[in-house]
Structure 1
C-alpha cells in the first residue's frame, strides 16, 4: 500500500536557508511544499530577497507581502481582540487569497516562531481545518511572553491551538516546563549543511571577498538586535586595537540596531577597524567564515546559536 503524500504549508518571516533545509528534508513525505514568506522589515530590501529559498521542483514560494494594515481595520477593535489578532488575521486572509490563486489547499501547516507565524497559523488552521505545528526558536518563548500580558496571552493561544510544538534547544524546553506547557513539545535541534560549511584555504577566501591578506579579521554574523550583543563586541575592538592596529572586525547582518551601532563606531573613531557589511547571501557566509581568524558570537542569549556550529 503506497503512502499518501501531503501538501505542506510552511511559514517564516526570515531565515530562508533554514526553511530551504526543512523543505528538502520533507521530500519523502510531501506531494508539494508551499513556503509563505511574510515581510516584517520592509526597509531591509536585501533581507527580503534572502527570504526565498533556492528553487526546488516541488516547492512554490509566494512573494513576500508587507505588513501595512488598512487603517480601517485598526478602528473600533473589539475588546476581545488585540492589534496582534487583527494583524495576523488580516495576514492569514491575504495568504488564503494567494493560495487560492494557485489552487493550493494544505494538509498540514508548519509555522516558524510563535509570533507572528504561529498566530497566523492559528487563523489558517481554522480556515483549512488542518493540523498546525509550530517551531519555537528562541526569543519567541524565552523572552517575548514575559514582556507584557498581551504577549503571554498570545503565546498561550498559539500553544493551545497547535497540534504539536517543536523547539530547538533543551533550555527552551525548560521554559515550556516552567509554564506547564510541555505536554506536546519535542526538542529537535537546528541543523546546518556540511556540504556548504566546510574548510577552505584562508587566502583564497579573502581573495574572493577582496579582503586584505595582512589583517587579523574578526567576524560576527547575526541580526543587528540589542540581544545579539554587538555593542559589546565593538567596545572590545576599541580596547583591542590599542595593542594591535591590524585588527579588522566585520559584522554581517541587518536589523533595527544598525543606526545605533554605526553611531557607536563613529563615536569611537573605529571606522577603519569595524565594518557593518550588511546582509549576505547564505552561500557567501562560508567564505567569510573561512576568511576570518576569529569568529565571535557576542549574543547575550541564544537558544541554539547555529552560526557557531557553522563556523
Structure 2
C-alpha cells in the first residue's frame, strides 16, 4: 500500500511548520529519506509543531509513480485547503518536485519558504529535461532561503543556478549522537553474531550502481585473497533489482558468495551497532550530496574510506578519513589495505572522525535551521 503522510503534533497548537518531502521512511522502508524524518523529530523535540506531507514508498514503475505522486498531490491540496493558513514556515526537502508544492504556501498565505537541496535533485533530476531545469531554477529563485547539505552543492547552487549567498546556507542534516556512538567493537560484534576471528568491512547505502558497489566488490576480491579473515557487510535498500542481480553474478564469479553479506535495511539503532562493530566503513560513491552515513560511522568510532566526490571530499579531507578517486578499484583497495594495516593510522582517523561528528551534531544543525525559519517574525 502506498501511504501519504499528513502528520501533526499537538492538535491544540497552531501549526508553525509544514515539511514537504518526496522521501520519508516507514517500518517497511526504513532508510527511505530517514534523514528527513530525523530532522522533523529533532524540530519537534525542540518544541515546534510540524506537519509532514510526504511520499513514504520508494517503489518504481509507471503505475506506482502515478499512484504515489497522485496521492501526494491530493494530500497536499487537502492540507493547503484546511491547514495552509496556519503554516508559518513551509520547508521542502528536494528542490523539485517538493519545492513546487511548497511554494504555494508562500503564494497563498505568505508562509516563509525554505528549501533544502540534497544533491540528487541538482546532480541528476535537473538533467532529465530542460523543463525540470527551468522549474528548479524558478523554485530556487522564489524560495526565501535555500539550504545546501554539502559544500560542492552550495557552490553549484550559487554558480549554476544564481542563488545569492545572502539566501544560501550550508547546513547538513547532522548526526544524532544519541544513536550513533562508540561501542566496544568486540561487544558489538558479539551482539551481531560476527565471528571474533573475522574482520568486518561495512557499506551502508542504497544498492545502486552510482554508490560504487562494483568498485567495492572488485577491490574487496583482491583484499580477500590477501587477508582471508576479511568479510564485507552491506546494509541498504535493493532499489534496482536488475542491478542487484548483476551484482550478485559478479560476486559469485569472483568467489565471494560466502564473504559478502547483504543485510537489507535496518533501523538506525542497529545500523549504528554495525558501524561500531566494523573495522572500517567504506563509501565508494560516484555521486554524493553530503555523505551523512560517513559522518554517522565517524560518530561510532570507525575510520572511513570514501570517494573524492561531492560532500565527501570536504567531509573526509584534512585527515578526517581516507579519500580515493571514484571508479578506481585499485586505489580503493590500496586505501583500505593502508587503513586496515596500520593501527596508528586507524586511531588517528577515529580521533579526527569523532571530532568531526561533534562539530556536526544534529542539535547544532537543527538550531541553525530553526534560526532560518525566523518564526518570531512570522504570523503568530
* TM-score computed with the length of structure 1 as normaliser: 0.76
Matched, 1:8 2:17: yes
- TM-aligned CA distance change 1:101 to 1:144, over 3 Å: closer
Pick which of 178-187 and 192-201 moved more.
Answer: 178-187
The answer to whether 1:273 aligns with 2:259 is yes
SS at match of 1:134: strand
Shift of 1:123: 4.6
The CA deviation at 1:282 is 1.0
Query: 153-162 vs 284-293, which deviates more?
Result: 153-162
Measure how far apart 1:173 and its partner are.
1.3
- For the residues of structure 1 that align with 2:247 and 2:106, how far apart are their CA atoms? 40
Quote how far apart the aligned CAs of 1:96 are: 3.2
CA contact (8 A) 1:9 1:108 kept: yes
More helix by share: 2
Candidates 93, 96, 102, aligned match of 2:77: 96
Other-structure match for 1:140? 121
Q: Distance in 2 between matches of 1:151 and 1:144?
A: 7
Deviation of the 1:265 alpha carbon = 1.9
The alpha carbon displacement at 1:38 in A equals: 0.5
SS at match of 1:135: strand
Which among 17, 29, 34 is matched to residue 51 of structure 2? 34
Aligned 8 A contact 2:15 2:51 in 1: no
2:271 corresponds to = 285
Q: State the shift of 1:223 in Å.
A: 1.5
1:262 aligned residue (237, 242, 248): 248
Q: What's the offset of the Cα at 1:190?
A: 2.8
Maintained 8 Å contact 1:6/1:29: no
Contact 1:217 1:247 in 2 (8 A): yes
Q: Look up the match of 1:116.
A: 97
Q: What is the Cα-based RMSD across aligned positions, in Å?
A: 2.8
Could you tell me which residue of structure 2 aligns to residue 19 of structure 1?
37
User: 1:127/1:253 Cα in 2 relative to 1: closer, same or farther (>3 Å)?
Assistant: farther
Correspondence for 1:294: 280
8 Å CA contact 2:84–2:109 kept in 1: the answer is no
Structure 2 unaligned blocks of 5 or more = 1-12, 24-31, 298-380
Aligned-pair distance for 1:147? Answer: 4.3
What secondary structure sits across from 2:90 in the alignment? Answer: strand
Give, in whole Å, the separation in 1 of the partners of 2:246 and 2:142. Answer: 39
Identify the residue that residue 235 of structure 1 maps to in structure 2.
218
TM-score, normalised on structure 2? Answer: 0.63
